[in-house]
Amino acid sequence: MSLTKAPPQTSSPRRDAKPEQSDRMVAENRLGRRLVAPALLLMLLVTAFPMLRALYLSLFQYSLTAPDDREFIGLSNYLTALSDPLFWKTTLNTVFIMIVTVGVELVIGFAFAMVMHRVIFARGLIRTSILIPYGIITVVSGFAWQFAFSNNNGFVNSWLPFVDETFNWFDGYSSSIAAIMISEIWKTTPFMSLLLLAGLAQVSEDMIEAAKVDGATWLQRLTKVILPNMRAAIMVAVLFRALDAYRIFDNIFVMTAGAYNTESISFLTYRQVIEQFQLGIGSALSVLLFLSVLVVAFVIVKLFRVDLAAARQES
Amino acid sequence: MAAAAALTLTGTLLSACGSDGKPVVNWYINPDGQATLGALAKKCSTDDYDIKIQLLPASATDQRTQLARRLAAKDSSTDLMSLDPVFVAEFANAGWLEPFEGADADALVDDDVLAGAAETVKWDDKIFAAPQWANTQVLWYRKSLAEAAGLDMTQPVTWDQVIDAASSQGGTVGVQANRYEGYVVWINSLIQGAGGNILDPDTVEEGRDAKVTIDSDAGKAAAAVIEKLADSKAAQPDLTTSNEGTSLGAMYPADGPGEFMTSWTFVYKNYVDLLGKPGGPADEAALKDLGFARYPETVQGEESKPPIGGIDIGVGAYSKNVGWAKEAAKCVTTPEAQAELAVNEGLMPSRASVYDEKALSEAYPTELLKLWRDSIDSGGPRPKSAFYSQISSAVQSRWHSPTQVDPDSTPEKSAKFLRDVLSGKALL
């Protein structure tokens, strides 16, 4: 019997078309709602309240150190932020970091996933080694990489033959941002590879065997069989990591403190609220940050949906 | 519900008590002079309460952030706090500091307190903190270098003369020009030394409505000094990232004649402790070659305005022990306490009379003590504003890097940006 069978046309199209529930089910549902209510309330308190509070504060010109000067200014903070070149500079910088790190992590993460999937000997050891960086706190990894890139006591300069021993990585945009991104990639590639490993495990071995029997090369098996079959896993991995990368803060805070235009949008928001105590404009920035995260999520989901539809038409 | 309330109450009460049940007055200090401050806390504890030291982070920005977060949350355990002078206005305006009134205020800021230090604790015609120790900058230099350049250091010298003298002898001029608070200290002193101010002193306490006066002849004179140093041979290689620590090593280099350097009072003790060690004077003769003079003039003939720093002791407005905390604040700022801090830690007194103490004259050259006292007495404070942090960051943003400072455009650009930032029309 089909589970998607339409309800009988004879009944009313309203809710009462549903099958009648027994008294016991109604009572159980009621109890269930009561049991869930405290958790729901708590969740609303810890998530909705700060968001609504930020929305409210963003309508004021309000500094924590001048509480008496608080003034309602409507949407002016949003206009100020959106018309300020610094906002767009940091947003572009954040998008740049997101695209580069997620792109590199996708490639390396997939390679790691293949290794973890196919490895025959010392499987536990290899998997653990690959996953170690992800277990390290981001601030700690930021400091570790800052020391590694230091021209006083770091090892990176001596390992790279084309870099001078005295080269200061944190004395300009390109090298600073490169160091930040390397740290970010090192830290979160294992997460990407974990998600992709789950996707790889779902690809049927039969299909790969069949492709092999048909004479498909390794590259053909990868591009025609494996990757199309793990598209959903790739989407999840890219979406999770892209949203994570868009919120980048710790590495920048530790390695450059935002110098040489390496600021991200999260860092800009932090500075307004925590350093400058400007609750009004800071709240407006955090609302804009929240909205832009939604946009990023929407774009990625949309992008992959288009791909999936196209794939279906091809097949 | 009642049980939960009782538990919370017990927890709160317990947290304000020591292990022996005696009430605790928490004193948040910055890491300078911990040993002496710890001893002071013990000495100033009474039968009624114990003073317990809580350590703040090393950087001034982090100290401010941590204290502000506690006070903004109305933390009742923040009883006493060591404050950088530039935070007093911000914290007082926010209502986070308990004012000292009547006899207390008169006792804490009497005629004995040096003018520069006394000025830092006043806000809105009230006394919001007790000056504990004061800091100032002087010009440190190698006597042999100045002599070789033919510079008469018995008379006030200008920045131009110092830069020219260093350049002519292959020496350098050490300043603080990284993108941080120390750079604003330098810029502010240069501008004040030319008779100007970043913000109009008559309107500076009006916060967002303060009149921006950085785009003035004084602002241009200050920019001209920075430009001259950045373009000269006297600029140190790490000028754009220099801080108090980086220029210390250039005084006694392995090769070369040394430097002229503007820096705080700790420098003397630093070189005394480094005698015969790498980076310090090789012997007593080399230590004697270390000269000190009043902060250089921005404009010839116009008295310089040395920077003012130090520590003021504030009492938290939400403290449950305001009375005891005020008592403790008085105790840790007495002349005896200031003398101990000066001798043991190199943290100079904010009271004039303490400079005459025998213990100080034994620890420091008399003429150096006189120079410090005069500098603190006639120094210039940074803008006293509830928006100081924004002002400082805005100035840093437009004046850094020093190699790009231009007298014709930098003061003008920074004035516009500062106005926009104060009125909430620009992001920092």
> By the CB < 8 Å criterion, does B426 face chain A?
yes
Within 8 A of B426 by CB-CB distance, chain A residues are 80, 84, 86
The token duo for B331 is 């105790």
What are the beta bridge partners of residue B26?
B52
B366 CA: distance to closest CA in chain A (Å): 40
Alpha carbon A315 to chain centroid, angstroms = 31
Give the model confidence (pLDDT) of B295-325 as tens digits: 999 999 999 999 999 999 999 999 999 999 9
Cα angle: B25, vertex B26, B29; to 5 degrees: 135
Q: Which of B93, B95, B389 sits opposite A276 (nearest CB)?
A: B389
> By the CB < 8 Å criterion, does A151 face chain B?
no
Q: Which of B95, B241, B427 sits opposite A87 (nearest CB)?
A: B427
Within 8 A of A259 by CB-CB distance, chain B residues are 179
The count of CB pairs under 8 A between chains A and B is 64
With residue A72 as reference, give the H or E element that holds it: strand A71-72
> By the CB < 8 Å criterion, does A171 face chain B?
yes
Q: Which of B72, B386, B428 sits opposite A271 (nearest CB)?
A: B428
B385 CA: distance to closest CA in chain A (Å): 10
Supply the CATH number for residue B62's domain.
Answer: 3.40.190.10
pLDDT band of residue B424 (cuts 50, 70, 90) is confident
Which residue on chain A is closest to B91 by alpha carbon? A65
Contact yes or no for A65 and B424 at CB 8 A: no
Coil, strand or helix: which one is B357?
coil
| In contact, B309 and B136? CB cutoff 8 Å | yes
> By the CB < 8 Å criterion, does A268 face chain B?
yes
Residues B219 and B332 in one domain: no
Contact yes or no for A80 and B428 at CB 8 A: no
For residue B5, the model assigns a pLDDT of 47
* Pairing mode, strands B122-123 and B126-127: antiparallel
> By the CB < 8 Å criterion, does B72 face chain A?
yes
Q: Which of B69, B94, B426 sits opposite A84 (nearest CB)?
A: B426
> By the CB < 8 Å criterion, does A281 face chain B?
yes
Q: List chain A pLDDT tens, one digit each, 315 residues.
A: 344 444 444 444 444 456 677 889 999 999 999 999 999 999 988 988 999 999 999 999 999 988 888 999 999 999 999 999 999 999 999 999 999 999 999 999 999 999 988 887 888 888 888 889 999 999 999 999 999 998 878 899 999 988 888 888 887 899 999 999 999 999 999 999 999 999 998 888 899 999 999 999 999 999 999 998 888 889 889 999 999 999 999 999 999 888 888 999 999 999 999 888 999 999 999 999 999 999 998 888 888 764 544 444 443
> By the CB < 8 Å criterion, does A254 face chain B?
no
Coil, strand or helix: which one is B380?
strand
Mean pLDDT of B408-421: 96
Backbone angles phi, psi at A114, to 5 degrees: -60, -45
Segments of B280-340 assigned E as strands: 290-293, 308-315
> By the CB < 8 Å criterion, does A283 face chain B?
no
- The count of structural domains within chain B is 2
pLDDT at B351 over 90: yes
Which residue on chain A is closest to B87 by alpha carbon? A65
Alpha carbon A202 to chain centroid, angstroms = 23
CA atoms B73, B74, B77, B80: torsion sign? positive
Residue A125 within any structural domain of the chain: yes
| In contact, A57 and A283? CB cutoff 8 Å | yes
Which of A138, A86, A142, A134 lies closest to A257, judged by CA? Answer: A142
Residues B189 and B268 in one domain: yes
Backbone angles phi, psi at B187, to 5 degrees: -60, -45
> By the CB < 8 Å criterion, does B389 face chain A?
yes
pLDDT at B146 over 90: yes
Residue B349 within any structural domain of the chain: yes
Coil, strand or helix: which one is B99?
coil
Backbone angles phi, psi at B252, to 5 degrees: -125, 70
The token duo for B333 is 């700022």
For residue A3, the model assigns a pLDDT of 42
Within 8 A of B207 by CB-CB distance, chain A residues are 66, 69
* Pairing mode, strands B259-263 and B172-174: parallel
| DSSP assignment letter at A204 | -
Within 8 A of A84 by CB-CB distance, chain B residues are 426-427
Residues B409 and B371 in one domain: no
Q: Which of B208, B393, B425 sits opposite A276 (nearest CB)?
A: B393
For residue B6, the model assigns a pLDDT of 47
Contact yes or no for A66 and B428 at CB 8 A: no
The token duo for B303 is 């008295």
Contact yes or no for A63 and B426 at CB 8 A: no
The token duo for B30 is 């910055």
Within 8 A of A276 by CB-CB distance, chain B residues are 389-390, 393, 428
Coil, strand or helix: which one is A129?
helix
The token duo for B414 is 């920074």
Residue B428 within any structural domain of the chain: no
Residues B316 and B405 in one domain: no
Contact yes or no for B387 and A65 at CB 8 A: yes
> By the CB < 8 Å criterion, does A271 face chain B?
yes
Within 8 A of B65 by CB-CB distance, chain A residues are 274-275
A272 CA: distance to closest CA in chain B (Å): 7
Residue B121 within any structural domain of the chain: yes
Backbone angles phi, psi at B122, to 5 degrees: -95, 135
Whole-number average pLDDT of chain B: 91
| In contact, A181 and A97? CB cutoff 8 Å | yes
Distances (CA, A) of A50 to A55, A58, A72, A115, A157: 9, 12, 19, 43, 45
Residues B397 and B249 in one domain: yes
> By the CB < 8 Å criterion, does A79 face chain B?
no
B67 CA: distance to closest CA in chain A (Å): 12
Contact yes or no for B387 and A66 at CB 8 A: yes
Domain that holds residue B56: 2-135+309-377
| In contact, B100 and B108? CB cutoff 8 Å | yes
Coil, strand or helix: which one is A205?
helix
pLDDT band of residue B230 (cuts 50, 70, 90) is very high
- The count of structural domains within chain A is 1
Contact yes or no for A80 and B425 at CB 8 A: yes
Supply the CATH number for residue A122's domain.
Answer: 1.10.3720.10
pLDDT at B93 over 80: yes
CA distance A76 to A60: 8
CA distance A169 to B322: 49
| In contact, B41 and B74? CB cutoff 8 Å | no
Q: Provide CB contacts within 8 A for B65, sequence distance 6+.
A: A274, A275
Higher pLDDT, B331 or A2: B331
- With tokens 């241009």, the residue in question is B220
Q: Which of A67, A81, A86 sits opposite B94 (nearest CB)?
A: A67
Q: Which of A65, A272, A278 sits opposite B94 (nearest CB)?
A: A65
CA distance A182 to B74: 41
For residue B56, the model assigns a pLDDT of 94
CA distance B30 to B108: 21
Give the model confidence (pLDDT) of B94-135 as tens digits: 999 999 999 999 999 999 999 888 989 999 889 999 999 999
- With tokens 């490993």, the residue in question is A197
ipTM over 0.90: no
Exposure b/e, B146-173, CB count within 10 A at least 16 = b: beebebebeebbbbbbbbbbbbebebbb
Backbone angles phi, psi at B142, to 5 degrees: -90, 120
Please name the amino acid found at residue B138: V
Residues B280 and B205 in one domain: yes
Residue A92 within any structural domain of the chain: yes
For residue A18, the model assigns a pLDDT of 60
For residue A123, the model assigns a pLDDT of 83
Q: Which of A61, A73, A86 sits opposite B427 (nearest CB)?
A: A86
Residue B417 within any structural domain of the chain: yes
CA distance B265 to B402: 24
Cα angle: A147, vertex A152, A156; to 5 degrees: 55
Domain that holds residue A63: 59-311
Which of B181, B186, B176 lies closest to B63, judged by CA? Answer: B181
| DSSP assignment letter at B120 | H
